[in-house]
Amino acid sequence: MHSMSKWDRRFLELAKQISTWSKDPSTQVGCVVVGPDREIRSTGFNGLPRGIDDTDERLNNREIKYPMICHAEENAIMHAARTGISLKNCIAYVTWPPCTRCARSLIQAGVSEIVYPKEVEIPDRWETDFDMSLNMFKESKTVVRQE
């Protein structure tokens, strides 16, 4: 078990590195999806949908901005789907715990485990959504770990 935590750390560090590709510091999230043999199957980071650039007026309004952003997990899942890669029984390493929207996508993609860093503090406004995500994962028997 001990050797696995070394891998957990490496993949979480990689997810953190990938999160820096997001232009907006307030939405930096990275995701690395790893297969059973520790091979990287897909990666993603929070980004703006095609056709929207970072000067878009709507991004100044938080209520509009967050729903608009393509989340790291969704981007990793879409990337895998486009390239025909299965994420079934894979582990998703993320820098931030998945929201309900991403939880649903991860469950549908067949990801069996979610790992996110221990030092993450969930702001009050995300607390309810995070609890709902955890319940969705529990119901689908998806393992959630903090490393």
- Residues serving a catalytic function are 73
Query: Token digits for 135?
Result: 């319940």
Contact 110, 35 (CB under 8 A): no
Q: What is the DSSP track for 59-93?
A: GGSHHHHHHHSBPHHHHHHHHHHHTT---TT-EEE
- How far is the C-alpha of 121 from the C-alpha of 132, rounded, in Å? 16
Query: Token digits for 82?
Result: 């486009």
- By the 10 Å C-beta count (0-12 exposed, 13-18 middle, 19+ buried), 88 is classed as exposed
